[in-house]
């Protein structure tokens, strides 16, 4: 899993509207970066826009890179200078975005695409937005509603301007963050109303499916995930996410063959280490050689993940295919797990079994 931090966009000026827009745009960018194999973290505390400061932030958070920007709003035009730096402080990309205010709802996706291309994750990049420019007053209203998390106004915007996908995205993001918190029931209700207003919105269906799954209504969750998969069309990222959710539902119901089918479909769309690992674990009981192959692919995609190397070592030992390779995988896991005491104990136990 590759990690990216998005730090608060620094605002040039004191206008509240500019601050609302900058905060919303940083959140939109982080949301658009998330997908199979990619985890984005939205940082709350400000960070200076320099390679060194962004690199330090990335290192402290344990992610690969951090993205920051300066933001200005003047005469209904947006100006951003963006900087993407690696954890070591090296500049990975820097560029400017100049756009009319009405393009604001699309900029998060545009920036996310640029970041993912800079990181070599072209397949994970969301598709280009084809939405029309929105009225500037609507964009400002949306930014205010985001700051206040005004659920009623966000739902009204989603209904009044059905082509404006930003309003439902904000609700989806809020619903995801509210899981397990006090606001969760209110946002569950909002998702239900949003799904009625936008019955063919794949991301809304996915989010509502997640809430139904949390409420142990797995049958409804499965139907929503199927609808989301079919509604996503050519959006490979959303189709892959729907397939991963369907695999989880099938696995929890002990429908292993169905889970394997969904995981294979997800992997064809997004070559994700965690999906390969899940597939490998399910395949071990049916076809150990193929299961080990899937786990091996997971370690290739995530060479720094100690847990994946441990899983591969354990599979190689249990199925007796290659003891020398099993020791090598466990040794690699031991080196990677030095900073994680709980995992280090597991790795040590695995090495003892291999060497006994």
Check residue 235 and give its pLDDT: 85
For residue 173, CA distances in Å to 28, 38, 203, 268 come to 9, 16, 10, 26
State the chain's mean pLDDT as an integer: 89
Domain range summary for the chain, segments of one domain joined by +: 1-134, 283-356
Model pLDDT for residues 329-350, shown as the tens digit of each residue: 999 999 988 877 778 888 888 8
- Which of 137-146, 218-227, 307-316, 336-345 bottoms out in mean pLDDT, i.e. has the lowest? 336-345
| CATH topology assigned to domain 1-134 | Rossmann fold (3.40.50)
Q: Do domains 1-134 and 283-356 have the same CATH topology?
A: no
pLDDT exceeds cutoff 80 at 122: no
List 39's β-bridge partners, or say none.
3
pLDDT exceeds cutoff 90 at 355: no
Residues written for the chain: 356
Residue range 3-10: mean pLDDT, rounded: 94
Check residue 310 and give its pLDDT: 94
Residues with Cβ < 8 Å from 276, sequence gap 6 or more? 267, 294, 295, 297, 298, 301
pLDDT exceeds cutoff 90 at 271: no
Alpha-carbon span 335 to 154, nearest angstrom: 49
Check residue 331 and give its pLDDT: 92
Of 88, 16, 94, give the one whose Cα is nearest residue 49.
94
Asked if residues 25 and 79 have their Cβ atoms less than 8 Å apart, the reply is no
Residue range 23-30: mean pLDDT, rounded: 91
Three-state DSSP class for residue 5? strand
The structure tokens listed for 25 are 């745009």
The structure tokens listed for 300 are 């290739």
Q: Which of the listed CATH numbers 3.30.230.10, 3.40.50.150, 1.25.40.10, 1.10.2020.10 matches domain 283-356?
A: 1.25.40.10
């Amino acid at each position: 899993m590759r990690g990216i931090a998005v730090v608060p966009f620094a605002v040039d000026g004191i206008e509240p509207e500019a601050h609302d827009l900058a905060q919303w745009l940083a959140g939109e960018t982080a949301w658009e970066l998330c997908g199979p194999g990619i985890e984005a973290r939205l940082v709350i505390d400000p960070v200076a826009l320099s390679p060194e400061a962004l690199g330090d932030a990335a290192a402290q958070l344990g992610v690969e890179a951090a993205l920051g920007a300066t933001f200005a709003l003047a005469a209904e035009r947006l100006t951003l200078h963006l900087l993407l730096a690696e954890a070591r402080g090296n500049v990975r990309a820097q560029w400017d975005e100049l756009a009319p205010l009405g393009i604001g709802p699309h900029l998060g996706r545009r920036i996310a695409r640029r970041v993912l291309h800079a990181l070599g994750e072209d397949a994970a990049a969301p598709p280009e937005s084809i939405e029309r420019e929105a009225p500037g007053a609507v964009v400002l209203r949306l930014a205010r509603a985001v700051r206040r998390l005004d659920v009623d106004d966000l739902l009204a915007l989603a209904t009044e301007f059905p082509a404006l996908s930003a309003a439902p995205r904000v609700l989806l993001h809020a619903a995801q963050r509210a899981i397990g918190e006090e606001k969760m029931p209110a946002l569950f209700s909002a998702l239900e109303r949003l799904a009625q207003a936008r019955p063919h919105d794949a991301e809304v269906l996915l989010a509502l499916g997640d809430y139904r799954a949390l409420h142990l209504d797995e049958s409804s969750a499965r139907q929503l995930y199927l609808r989301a998969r079919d509604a996503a069309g050519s959006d490979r990222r959303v189709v892959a996410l729907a397939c991963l959710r369907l695999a989880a539902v099938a696995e929890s119901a002990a429908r292993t063959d169905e889970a394997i089918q969904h995981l294979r479909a997800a992997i064809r769309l997004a070559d994700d280490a965690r999906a390969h690992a899940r597939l490998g674990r399910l395949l071990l009981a049916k076809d150990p050689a193929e299961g080990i192959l899937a786990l091996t692919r997971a370690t290739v995609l995530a060479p720094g993940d100690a847990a994946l190397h441990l899983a591969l070592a354990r599979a190689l030992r249990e199925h007796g295919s290659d003891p020398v390779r099993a020791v090598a995988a466990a040794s690699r896991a031991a080196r990677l797990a030095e900073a994680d005491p709980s995992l280090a104990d597991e790795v040590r136990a695995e090495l003892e079994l291999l060497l006994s």
